[in-house]
Amino acid sequence: MTTLSGSMTALATPFKDGKLDEAAYTWLVDYQVTNGTSVLIPMGTTGEAVTMTPAERRGAIELCIRANKGRAQVYAGCGSNSTQETIDAVKVARELGADGALIVTPYYNKPTQAGLVEHYRLVAKAHPGFKLMAYNVPGRTGVDLLPDTCKRLCEIPEIVALKEATGNVLRTLDVYEQCGERLTLLSGDDFVVAPFIFSGGKGVVSVSSNVAPRLMADLCAAALKGDITTARALQLKLQPLHRLLFCESNPIPVKMALHLMGRFSTEIRPPLTVMTEPNAQKLKAELVALGLC
């Protein structure tokens, strides 16, 4: 089984005149895989999946897989607060040739911990043998996948990884204590990649790597080798970029960054809005400082 490790990118989605900008998306996929990104993740939060139609999401996943040409793994975002809709979305991703699916915990309806386990169990039952990456991001979903619950998820063979986005390194240790090597732990927070990996993680599902894939790939590689000095230096080098890419709701800043790099339009779907000009100027200055713009 192909392992999951290193820098993985939650891809931003470029729009042009209200539709997927296929040329820009193809460029982004190539930019990632030629700069060390090991897994492409279309249709996550960063990809604005929640404001896209099922047909649009299908088109983006299909283009990602086609542009990738088998170079990196592709885990398609398929999560929903409806278990049946999640099952249906995984079916689409599987038929298109994705390697796996990213499944966020159901948001808004606040299931219990038992309900979370049942959600993942039913998705896995509907797709035996297909790899699933659970995704815990309580700041957005209103529900927290607790370490004890992660241990219960280990009983589901299809769940191979957990994207843990609390930003709490103690949580990483708690989950690792419960699950050991059974689940591949991936940071969902760019600010703590180095300490996360040193605490048992294998990599990151990153927003910032849309913009700086080589730096993030090098950071993960250094941390995975146990090179504390290099990993810390790269983490600190990227912190100003991370702060700017999260100073407004994701993916507002990352889409502006890719625009400033000359690759995306400024289009973003409501209710999100284009980044404010003062923040955009600060972001541009940091991109120039990193040699990205």
pLDDT digit string (tens) for 81-96?
A: 999 999 999 999 999 9
* pLDDT surpasses 90 at 2: no
How many CA atoms are closer than 13 Å to the CA of 264, on its beta-carbon side?
A: 28
Q: Which of 75, 120, 135, 176 is catalytic?
A: 135
pLDDT band at 18 (very low <50, low <70, confident <90, very high): very high
Q: What is the mean pLDDT of residues 236-248?
A: 98
Average pLDDT score, the chain = 97
Quick check: is 135 catalytic?
Answer: yes
* pLDDT surpasses 70 at 256: yes
Q: Which H/E stretch holds residue 80?
A: none
Quick check: is 108 catalytic?
Answer: no
**Model confidence over 156-187: pLDDT tens digits?**
999 999 999 999 999 999 999 999 999 999 99
pLDDT over 70 percentage in the chain: 99
Question: Cβ neighbours of residue 281 under 8 Å, at least 6 residues apart?
Answer: none
* pLDDT surpasses 50 at 1: no
Cβ atoms 203, 37 nearer than 8 A = no
**Model confidence over 101-149: pLDDT tens digits?**
999 999 999 999 999 999 999 999 999 999 999 999 999 999 999 999 9
- The domains found in the chain, sorted by start residue, are 6-225 (3.20.20.70)
* pLDDT surpasses 50 at 229: yes
Q: Which of 31, 75, 131, 163 is catalytic?
A: 163
Q: What is the mean pLDDT of residues 70-78?
A: 98
Q: How many CB atoms lie within 10 A of CB 82?
A: 13
Question: Cβ neighbours of residue 4 under 8 Å, at least 6 residues apart?
Answer: 38, 39, 73, 133, 160, 161, 184, 186, 202, 203
